[in-house]
Structure 1
Amino acid sequence: MGGAISINKLRKKNKSKHTRTIQRYEKKTDDVKEPLKYYLANFMKDTDIMVLLHFLGRYLFQSIHNAPVEEILTNENCKVLDVGCGAGTWLLESATLYRSSSFLGIDLCTVYPAEIKPDNVEFMQVDVLNGLPFEDNTYDYVHQGNMVEVYTIEQWNFIISELIRVCKPGGYIEFTEPELAPKTGPILKRFYDALIELSESRNVRIRMYRNLIKILNSTQTVHNIESKVAIVPLGMKKGGNVGQTYLEVHDGFFLNDPMPETMSKIMNLSRQEYFDLFDEAKQEIEKGVAPDCEIYRIWCQKKI
């Protein structure tokens, strides 16, 4: 279902102070910090930027989904699962559009709405790396978005197997993810190279598009694997309001703590030097030396 929006209005509403944080969550046991299995976005403070990213994707694809699930979603017995739902933006909009379907969002962080929500939506706190707490063949449509910087390569294989397991035969699984641009200006490239180094140190592959396709193609239980890529030239000069909106998401990723502290060490810079260099990268973007960023959707159908 299409849904044109005003990117300019969204950009003005979501100022750059709303940024996304990548951090390690830890639990404390007897005064000893034990690292968890994830690096996660800090949705507790930064849900606005995730809302913006959702609407940006909807604008670019002119839909909240690309999998051919329109007919499925109009069925009153349809059950939808959203994995890593965050604040629940995708889920809440889907539930409002498809009132006859039932929706469940799961996330490790409980930042989804507890009370004010459509009556066909429920939320549950779940650590997906412990496995999904659902029976086989439960859901007609399984969705997951913006998790590329969360899972390691090995975890991706497990997660995909779980998404397929809980999906009904004939149902669909869909992913929406950003892809780090392969080419950019020389200053911004330093940040991209450092990000890749940081990701690889955690066994996280920041460019997963081809890998997701490969994993799905090697899976015997799915078929009809398709994908679509939307291009976003970064910044106002190359990308207009859409590019400026994505720039705010992009800036938040690199500038919100603790990313500057972590990345500056990899780049052999002081914290101030990191910010100064990023200002130079933004000037590079404003001059039009900017990457063509990508957001992709991949979907497949579980075999009957």
Structure 2
Amino acid sequence: MTTTASSTPPTTPTTFTSFLKAKWRSSTTKVLKPWKPIPNTRDYIEKSWVQHNALNMAFDGDTMAPVAQSLLSGGCEVLDIGCGAGFWSMDMATKYPLSYFIGIDVDKNVFPNITMQKNLLFQRVDIMTTPLPYENDTFDYVFIRSMLDTLPDEGWDSVLQEIVRVMKRGAYLECVEPYANLFDTGPAMSTILGLIDSSANKRISATQLLNQQLPAVYNPWPNRLAPLSTLQSMRIHHTHTPIGKYGGALGSLMVQYWERTIKASSQDWILTKAISEKDLDTLHQEMLAEIETHETYMAWYSVVAQKKGYNGPAIVIEDYDTQAISQ
């Protein structure tokens, strides 16, 4: 895809407002259809908060990219794509007050309405409308979390090209995502996962099924980033998050995560008669018991890649399990 920068070079920003005015641009390209509706319920926001705190514990911090020193030094511009309620952006803006953060999401209703840090801004931006509304070489660091299943598989091709375009040379891209499957599940959790999959499949059109166009979750981030000639030094970190009190504070958080996942979808399941309210309550209680006996857990990964600008190492894959799953 060919994009053109503004004919007038932006002035050097002296404040966050002037930085934004210098970097904002228009966007008119046709919008892609998302795989799933955009949630803005209280359950979704609470689930996002729980997930944010759990992953902070699992990865021992908010970022795996080697950007801490640059962010502390100040002057860096960071983009949080699909920021939702903005928990990651707010934490980072507080931790690194001398750098600038922009959180973007298609649904502005989930943005926080509290007084925010002066170095943080939330904007309604639909990443499915390309080009992204920023100039070339704008950001030092781009962060994406739990976004892979929000676009059709082919949609990410153009979006990734746009993300790389707005990154500076040497900038880092970090994508955090869960693996598709849960591990050591029992029958109750397996039934719940089946209900979730059934709801997702109903949102895929007959034409997409006929053409075998599967959701992007089946093509994970490392596979998507590796072919991009503009990126280098890809590093993948793995971690596990136990689901259950057996996993301590982290495991208890993940129980809350799954309880809110169930609650957010329960009305849809009951209305479509996928399951009765009574049976769902029973299933829920069985799930809470079996995750302890089976020691169920999720696996997550963070993939970090750098936009070419200087020589770096080849692909490095390492395990980063900070929480023991079995005693």
TM-score, length basis structure 2: 0.73
The alignment status of 1:141 with 2:149, answered yes or no, reads: no
Distance 1:45 1:192, change over 3 A: closer
Q: Distance in 2 between matches of 1:220 and 1:41?
A: 34
Measured against aligned partners, the alpha-carbon deviations of 1:17-71 in whole angstroms (never above 9, x if no partner) come to xxxxxxxxxxxxxxxxxx9634223255642332222121111111110011123
- In the TM superposition, what is the alpha-carbon distance from 1:297 to its structure 2 partner? 1.3
Is 1:250–2:258 an aligned residue pair?
yes
Choose which of 203, 207, 215 in structure 1 pairs with 2:224. 215
Matched, 1:228 2:237: yes
Which residue identity is paired with 1:276?
A: T
What whole-Å deviation, never above 9, does each CA across 1:193-224 have from its counterpart, x for those lacking one?
Answer: 3433443454564855x621111111111111
CA distance in 2 between partners of 1:284 and 1:63 (Å) = 30
State the Cα distance separating 1:227 from its structure 2 match: 1.5
Displacement of 1:115: 5.9
Q: Does the 8 A contact of 1:149 with 1:199 survive in 2? A: no
Amino acid at match of 1:83: I
Deviations 1:70-102 (A, max 9, x none): 232134331111111112111111111112111
Q: 1:98 to 1:217 in 2, by over 3 A?
A: same
Alignment partner of 1:106 out of 99, 104, 124 = 104
Q: Following superposition of structure 1 onto structure 2, how do residues 127-166 of structure 1 map, counting pairs within 5 Å?
A: 127-131=126-130, 132-166=132-166
Judging changes above 3 Å, is the alpha-carbon distance between structure 1 residues 161 and 292 closer, same or farther for their aligned structure 2 residues? same
- Say whether 1:285 aligns with 2:285: no
Identify unmatched segments of 5+ residues in structure 1: 1-34
- Alignment of 1:260 onto 2:261: no
Distance 1:268 1:70, change over 3 A: closer
CA distance, structure 1, for counterparts of residue 42 and residue 287 of structure 2: 28
User: Does the alignment pair 1:48 with 2:57?
Assistant: no
Q: Quote how far apart the aligned CAs of 1:133 are.
A: 0.8
Q: Is the 8 A contact 1:234 1:291 kept in 2?
A: yes
CA distance in 1, matches of 2:274, 2:97: 53
AA at the equivalent of 2:302: R
Matches within 5 A, 1:264-279: 268-279=274-285
Which entry has the higher C-alpha Rg, 1 or 2?
Answer: 2
* From 290, 296, 299, the counterpart of 1:294: 299
Residue pair 1:77, 1:101 contacting (<8 A) in 2 also: yes
TM superposition score normalised by structure 1: 0.78
Structure with the larger strand share: 1
Change (3 A) 1:65 1:45: same
Q: How many residues were matched structurally?
A: 265
Stretches of structure 2 lacking an aligned partner (at least 5 in a row): 1-31, 205-213, 310-327
Equivalent residues of 1:199, 1:206 under 8 A apart: no
RMSD over aligned CA atoms reads: 2.6
Question: Where does residue 171 of structure 1 map in the other structure?
Answer: 171
Aligned to 1:23: none
Task: Encode CA deviations 1:104-138: one digit per residue, 9 max, x unaligned.
Answer: 11112223235611111111111111022112221
Question: In the alignment, is the contact (CA less than 8 A) between 1:233 and 1:243 conserved in 2?
Answer: yes
Mapped to 2, the partners of 1:197 and 1:268 lie a distance apart of 9
Q: Which amino acid aligns with 2:174?
A: E
1:85 pairs, out of 83, 92, 103, with: 83
Bigger mean CA offset, 158-167 vs 244-253: 158-167
CA contact 2:62–2:92 (8 Å) conserved in 1: yes
Alpha-carbon displacement from aligned partner over 1:274-304 (angstroms, at most 9, x marks no partner): 3322322222223x12422123211111112
